[in-house]
Amino acid sequence: MKKKIMIVTLCCLALGISACGTNEEKADPFSGEPITAAESPTGNQNQGEGTKNDQGQEEGTKNDQGQEGAKGDQGQEEGTKGDQGQDKGTEGNQGQAEGNVAGQKVQEFFANGVEAADLGRDYDADLQTSVDAIAASSASVTEELAAVEKIAEQFDKLAKAANTQYEINQTAQWFYVIWDKELNSLWGRISSQADAQTKEQLLSEQRNWVSMKEEVTLENIGSSEENGSMYPTQQYGFWEEITRNRVYVLANALAKIKGESFAMPERNAKYGTYVNNEGTGSVYDSLITRKSWEGEDEALIALYRTGVIEGTFVDQGNGKLAFTSYDGKVEGTILLRGWDGASFEVTAAGDDAIVNVGAKYEFNFAY
């Protein structure tokens, strides 16, 4: 694959690198007011109905005959329903307090928010407020990420309503923006809560992630010149994927700092992007496994000062992929280790192949 050149504007993080690419410090990520629990009126309303119905029951007691007694029985029955409604309201409040915060926050945020026809609305400020509120009011990092996932899902309404390429490009950005804002929010708290050694380690890793983002994007989707009007959607889609992945890495780090348990999601066992950066902000070697435009499983292996090998692979399960180059000169085994990176080992090579049998390459940085 020939090397491509792309000029894109990338949003950076508050890591000594601001969201606009300057060296200014990022503002306090918790300026937004927390979203408070909206009390459900159902239980209290039914309790009031129950009180009225108790009066009906009392009237029924005074009038043992005919119609008044019937009213009393009816009041008693409705009073029971009121008590049941009160019980359900209590159970609902308990369930909300025990972990249904994610759904509540999303419902509150989108009460007048994402509408299928509102394709042109700018959701940036709304998303920032929501992310800040979720971070401030969530009981754990796990709960926080669940709420952000719910918000991201809501933008499916916009995506389904988009028809023209312009509309598709416009709506695609919000799937990325929500994760970019959450990433900056997490970093703000890591920066203030981590000890000096942990902070320095994570800061170095995060700066490397930002520095390599442009090249990794280019290697995955190509340039804007190659992709034309579809490029913004492809770019935002890829950024959404890698930024969401990075959010979980930082969330795991923050959970450890806070002494919380946190379960990392499983990475895809077939597709992904992995690099060898030698501990720097530059890509030395890269491994990309993906589905081609033709629907074929393909792998792109770029090796520093060696060359690029492209080919297909067969999934053998558990992250093990059997690779064969398009020219038939190289065969090997790709092993995807999830969040711990990947490797490629050459098992067969022709006389004029650019790699040798037995050579093994490591890609320890998972995008």
What would the pLDDT profile of 221-257 be if each residue is shown by its tens digit?
A: 999 988 999 999 999 999 999 999 999 999 999 999 9
The torsion angles phi and psi of 53, rounded to 5 degrees, stand at -70, -30
Inter-residue contact 216 to 273 (CB < 8 Å)? yes
Q: What is the pLDDT, as a whole number, of residue 82?
A: 47
Residue with tokens 């040798």: 356
What Rg do the C-alpha atoms of the chain give, in angstroms?
Answer: 28
Report the sign of the C-alpha dihedral through residues 14, 272, 174, 246, in that order: negative
* More confidently predicted of 213 and 74: 213
Residue 288 and residue 366 in contact, taking contact as beta carbons nearer than 8 Å: no
C-beta neighbour count of 127 within 10 angstroms: 23
Q: Does residue 334 carry a pLDDT above 90?
A: yes
Task: Judge whether residue 37 has pLDDT over 80.
Answer: no
Cα–Cα distances (Å) from 77 to 42, 46, 70, in that order, read: 18, 13, 11
**Distance in angstroms (rounded) separating the CA atoms of residues 170 and 236:** 10
* pLDDT reported for residue 143: 97
Strands 365-366 and 320-325 come out as: unpaired
Tell me the pLDDT band of 116, cut-offs 50, 70 and 90. Answer: low
3-state secondary structure of 262: coil
pLDDT higher than threshold 80 for residue 168: yes
- Angle, helix 231-258 to helix 141-154, in steps of 10 degrees: 160
- The answer for 307, left when phi > 0, alpha when psi is -120 to 50, beta otherwise, is left
Q: Residues near 218 by Cβ (< 8 Å), separated by ≥ 6?
A: 4, 5, 6
Q: Quote the strand ranges of the chain, DSSP E.
A: 272-276, 285-291, 297-303, 307-315, 320-325, 330-336, 342-349, 360-363, 365-366
Q: Which residue has the higher pLDDT, 16 or 296?
A: 296
Query: What gap in Å lies between CA 154 and CA 162, rounded to an integer?
Result: 14
pTM above the 0.75 mark? no
Q: What value does the mean pLDDT of the chain take?
A: 79
Q: What is the pLDDT of residue 170?
A: 92
Model pLDDT, residue 104: 61
Structure confidence by residue, pLDDT tens digits, 51-73: 344 443 444 444 444 444 444 44
In which band, very low, low, confident or very high, does the pLDDT at 33 lie, cut at 50, 70 and 90?
A: very low
